[in-house]
Amino acid sequence: MNTIGLIGSLLLALSGIPEMIRTIRDKRCHVGWGLLLMWFFGELLCVVYGLQLGEIPLLINYLFNVVIISVMLFYKIKTQLKK
């Protein structure tokens, strides 16, 4: 069962990569503000939860997603400031 959880965690951690690549390539984030902000703050809260549990696989997933979302937020804000 741990293997299934690790595979699921890995897939979730990697799921944002295609959108991040698209964002970097287009130099703009296509994801809406609502999803982006809820995803970002959800991941931050999950980091706190993962720290409390001491679950390294969860922390890796959550922190990796924070990095991915931060890249998308950077481009989203950058695009908004140009307007």
Residue 11's pLDDT band (cuts 50, 70, 90): confident
Contact status, residue 69 vs residue 43, Cβ threshold 8 Å: yes
45-74 pLDDT per residue, tens: 999 999 999 988 788 889 999 999 999 999
- How many whole angstroms separate alpha carbon 6 and alpha carbon 13? 10
**Which CATH number is 77's domain given?**
1.20.1280.290
Residue 18's pLDDT band (cuts 50, 70, 90): very high
How many domains is the chain partitioned into structurally? 1
pTM of the predicted structure, to 2 decimals: 0.86
- How many whole angstroms separate alpha carbon 49 and alpha carbon 60? 12
| Side-chain half-sphere CA neighbours of 71 within 13 A | 17
pLDDT for residue 6 is more than 80: no
Structural domain range at position 41: 2-82
